[in-house]
Amino acid sequence: MDREFDVRRERFALNAPFRISRGVKTAAEVIVVQVAEGGQAGFGEAVPYARYGESLDSVEAELAAVADAVRAGATREEAQAALSPGAARNALDCALWDLAARRAGTEVSTLLGRDRLPVLETAVTVSLDAPAAMAAAARALAGAPLLKVKVAAEGVEARVAAVREAAAGARLIVDPNESWNLDLLAYLQPALQALGVELVEQPLPAGKDAGLQGLAPLVPICADESCHVAADLPRLAGLYQAVNIKLDKAGGLTAALDLYAAARAQGFRVMVGCMICSSLGIAPALHLARDADWVDLDGPIWLQADRPGGVRIENGRLFPPAAGFWGSPPPTR
């Protein structure tokens, strides 16, 4: 088969430091996969994540191991079987979806039996900082209907209260990024409820999930680091009320669609999230986000410059990318 396969690194500087409980990020470093066949090329982007033992080198090595199979015409299903869940599989899977749509002269939405993507409401992140700085960031986001507040184990109430005062009309998600313990989670429940927080995302370290057994939270709890693929869901039942689906964790749109269907069947609410990435990493996730309870796909707004034609975020409204960007052929002239 006359198929080309290319893997490259790209770096996007951030417009401000992005702080969470486990560190600070100043640039997004991504892996881009290109698969070309029959005069068309499909693209996929993924973010190697050190929290999951990934690096740019390790993701490139994973993709190099399947390069011959991809050039020989490996299908999405074969790629799913050949690679483990994670960034490498995500980049390849999304490139193959993009290629399929372009070769068919249609959109990924059509391949999935859906209408064109709608405009969505996305969370916009308030990075971890001093309460006054977080309040200023929240005021700068006036008009955004949903804010995600990054916190650590110290000063939670002060930080969330500062954001709430600065954005009285916004809905709030709180994300400790695994930095709390069970006692702190239980202690904070009344305060979080009083501040109008509607979701707490991954408060405990992944692997400490059993501590949630028997907790009747006043604010629903969402699994992020604890949930990667559909096989994770049975052990999360009764512990979490929602799961955060990210293509970089699941290993592509294919596995993420499976996770979404399984989560709904097992009674979980769903958030669709992202790493800090360009619009090329966001576009495939829109096909899940259209049906999610919470959308958290603001990664590109942290970049000094995104890819031309990508998604657009205005006052918390997420507009799909231009025709021809990802998952659709270019407009006809």
Q: 78, 109, 140 — which closes off a domain?
A: 109
**10 and 61 inside one domain:** yes
pTM attached to this predicted model: 0.96
pLDDT at residue number 220: 97
Tell how strand 317-319 and strand 312-314 pair up: antiparallel
Owning domain of residue 125: 120-319
For the residues 291-305, what does the mean pLDDT come to?
97
Higher-pLDDT residue of 117 and 21 is 117
From 25, 148, 246, 249, the catalytic residue? 246
**198 and 291 inside one domain:** yes
150 as an active site residue: the answer is yes
CA distance 239 to 328: 39
Tell how strand 317-319 and strand 120-121 pair up: antiparallel
- pLDDT tens, residue by residue, 138-188: 999 988 999 999 999 999 999 999 999 999 999 999 999 999 999 999 999
Pick from 11, 4, 19: which is nearest to 71 by CA?
4
**81 and 58 inside one domain:** yes
25 as an active site residue: the answer is no
- Strand residue runs (E) in the chain: 3-20, 23-37, 40-46, 120-121, 124-126, 146-150, 171-175, 197-201, 221-223, 242-245, 269-272, 294-295, 312-314, 317-319
Task: Evaluate whether residue 332 is within a structural domain.
Answer: no
From 25, 148, 150, 249, the catalytic residue? 150
**Number of domain units in the chain:** 2
Residue 293: CATH number of its domain: 3.20.20.120
Tell me: pLDDT of 67 over 60: yes
How many CA atoms lie within 13 Å of 312's alpha carbon, on the beta-carbon side? 8
